[in-house]
Amino acid sequence: MVLSAPRRPLELRDLPSPTPGPGEILIAVKVCGVCRTDLHVADGELADAKLPLILGHEIVGRVAARGPGANRFTVNDRVGVPWLGWTCGECGYCRAGRENLCERARFTGYQRDGGYGEITVADERFVLPLPAGYADAAAAPLLCAGLIGYRCLVAAGDGNRLGIYGFGAAAHIVAQVARWQGRQVFAFTRPGDEAAQSFARELGAVWAGASTEAPPEPLDAAIIFAPVGSLVPAALRAVAKGGTVVCGGIHMSDIPSFRYELLWGERTVRSIANLTRRDGEEFLSLAARIPLRCEVESFPLARANEALERLRSGRIRGAAVLRVAD
């Protein structure tokens, strides 16, 4: 499925098979997760997208062929391809172990073709082996929702009372990790979204309510997954002194101005950008140990537009994934 221009539906198109270059592998895609970032790219809210583009950065597939010098995997190995597709290895960020901020990074399904298709090519250094206990469809959401969610959770600090704004794919995984760590989860959803609130309670949230409500007690930290800027002052209001508010999305509507008093008391607002390969290794080994219950709604590849629209309107329970091959 190909995006040829922003705000246009994806089109099914036959493309010539790509050839893996040096250090690259050709992957037969089995499933690909649908992420909110895909919507931001499709809507033209992020600059620098390669066009035409095959979206998708939660790719689960099997190695089909290896390019020159690629020897990390063997043919038929099951692998996962995440958002971070390539980094330069030379800039100050890369050298400091912060490759998520690399000046020249290339991202899967954004500046490199991704997984909304039968085959894809990836740089083998950025590909992740997947824990065996997860079926293909359950493993896909780990690759962005889980991984970026995990990076957000680490950034939120060790506090016990964790708020999560927006209870979609990332939240449903992070809530389980936080519960496993012994924390209390407070879930905030769109007002009136009873389904998401009861889903959050099923996954162990001690409280679930509308994002316009105050939690029953002050929080130690909050993570915002919904792309809604007005949630930043709302979350600051909900956290106690010294608390951190982490913005987990790549795009957000404007943040309204707010009184300094909300930030006072050593509260912190920060964002999370991308992932490092180390995040991937850490999170996937944690996912193998816990284990996580990934709730997915799956769609055939040809219905990618419908999956995106359902995600846009908040009508997905857990994560959406595209079934590419059986």
Q: Which stretch binds Zn ion (CB under 5 A): 100-108, 268-276, 292-300, 305-313?
A: 100-108
Select from 25, 55, 102, 247 the one that contacts Zn ion (CB under 5 A).
102
Specify the amino acid at residue 186: F
| 173 near Zn ion (CB under 5 A) | no
We find the least distance from the C-beta atom of residue 94 to Zn ion, in angstroms, to be 3
We find the least distance from the C-beta atom of residue 170 to Zn ion, in angstroms, to be 8
* Cβ atoms of 129 and 117 closer than 8 Å: no
We find the least distance from the C-beta atom of residue 282 to Zn ion, in angstroms, to be 18
> In this structure, what token pair is assigned to residue 67?
């390019």
Binding mask 204-223 for Zn ion (x = CB under 5 A): --------------------
d(CA 307, CA 38): 11
Peptide bond into 129 cis (omega under 30): no
Binding mask 61-80 for Zn ion (x = CB under 5 A): --------------------
Binding mask 127-166 for Zn ion (x = CB under 5 A): -----------------x----------------------
Select from 46, 88, 206, 273 the one that contacts Zn ion (CB under 5 A).
88
Nearer to Zn ion, 115 or 243 (CB): 115
DSSP states along 45-91: -STT--SSB---S-EEEEEEEE-TT--SS-TT-EEEE-SEEE--S-S
Report helix angle 194-202 to 169-180, nearest 10: 30
| 94 near Zn ion (CB under 5 A) | yes
Task: Give, as ranges, the residues between 24 and 53 that touch Zn ion (CB under 5 A).
Answer: 35, 37
H-helix segments, 70-143: 92-95, 136-139
* Cβ atoms of 81 and 30 closer than 8 Å: no
We find the least distance from the C-beta atom of residue 34 to Zn ion, in angstroms, to be 9
For residue 247, the number of C-alpha atoms closer than 13 Å in the C-beta half-sphere is 21
Interacting residue ranges for Zn ion, rule: CB under 5 A: 35, 37, 87-88, 91, 94, 102, 144
